[in-house]
Amino acid sequence: MKTNYLVLPILALAGLGLAGCPSDDTGNQTGSSTGDDTTNGTTVTPPTTMTTMDPDSTVGTVGMTSTAGTDTGETSTTDPPTGPFEFDETPFEDYVAVDRKGFPAINTGLNLLGDKDVYNAATPVDDAALTFNMNIRQSLETLHLGAPGEQTADNTGLDDDLIGAGFTPCITPPLPANNCDDQSGSYAIPDVLTLDLDDPAAFPNGRTLENPVMDIIFAVLLLDLEAHDVTTFLDLDQDGTPGPSINPIANDVEFPGDFPYLAPANE
């Protein structure tokens, strides 16, 4: 069997590396067909497996395939960790808005006849340009008098019901001779949430979990606030004590005092 004189020095160096630094009296080394090295008359058998270091790998990694092509048979193909998060790199311009988080119930109550997806994809800049002004006006008319073109003499909207219950609606036909636009317009145009730190923290200046938001919004959209208070629908019998009301005046489960402050959901 032929001796590979290129491999023997590499094996010898590996053996020295494992044994520590050589002494000054190291003898001559001769090769044999068995692959054994003789140093100072002592036969040293080289290890049957080698630890090779990949210069591009992490220091201390054992069993990696080196760039010189020496393969120990114990290779690792594990890539360096990339971290626990993977982020979507879709360009911003490829995203489409599917909802707006502005003032509550604007798209629901003041865009009755318009395209709600188009509204959700719009911005406050579109609101300020009065893009949806006609939708808002027609929605107010529909709430009070019924849908345009479908109104009847006995009124298909809510005004006759409000009047029958002793309330004064904020609208007087024909449009636009009314003050409903002024009441709701400041909330709907533009459709944003505002917060003034100098004012009390209560809806519409912020919102606490206990705030009766929809009762207040109904009052703004339906009642003449020169004749009624914005909290009228919280005290329908007007006796000065909350209730009866359109919506429950309190949550059915008490809110906890610790984070996240939300009561458990009903099953």
> 189-216 burial string, b = 16+ CB within 10 Å, else e?
bbbbeeeeeeeeeebbeeeeeeebeebb
Do 128 and 20 share a domain, yes or no?
no
Question: How much is the pLDDT for 191?
Answer: 92
On the question of pLDDT at 44 being above 60, the answer is no
In a domain, 250, yes or no: no
In a domain, 174, yes or no: yes
Do 221 and 103 share a domain, yes or no?
yes
Do 145 and 229 share a domain, yes or no?
yes
In a domain, 207, yes or no: yes
Rounded to whole angstroms, the Cα distance separating 133 from 154 reads: 27
For the chain, the residue count is 267
Its pTM stands at 0.60
Q: What's the domain range around 230?
A: 94-234
The helix/strand count (H/E) of the chain reads as 8, 2
Q: Which residue has the tokens 């629908």?
A: 233
How many domains is the chain built from? 2
Do 182 and 117 share a domain, yes or no?
yes
Do 104 and 228 share a domain, yes or no?
yes
Do 28 and 98 share a domain, yes or no?
no
Do 133 and 26 share a domain, yes or no?
no
In a domain, 63, yes or no: no
Question: How much is the pLDDT for 76?
Answer: 54
Do 36 and 119 share a domain, yes or no?
no
Instruction: Encode pLDDT of 53-97 as tens digits.
Output: 444 444 443 434 344 444 455 555 666 666 788 888 899 889 888
Do 24 and 137 share a domain, yes or no?
no
On the question of pLDDT at 29 being above 80, the answer is no
Question: How much is the pLDDT for 196?
Answer: 92
* Mean pLDDT of the region 132-141: 88
Do 35 and 104 share a domain, yes or no?
no
In a domain, 179, yes or no: yes
Question: How much is the pLDDT for 146?
Answer: 86
Please return the burial class of 121, using the count of CB atoms within 10 Å of its CB with bins 0-12, 13-18 and 19+.
middle
In a domain, 216, yes or no: yes
Do 102 and 175 share a domain, yes or no?
yes
**Which of these ranges, 28-37, 83-92, 113-122, has the smallest mean pLDDT?**
28-37
Instruction: Encode pLDDT of 150-184 as tens digits.
Output: 787 666 788 888 988 899 998 755 554 456 777 87
Share of the chain above pLDDT 70, in %: 65
Do 38 and 129 share a domain, yes or no?
no
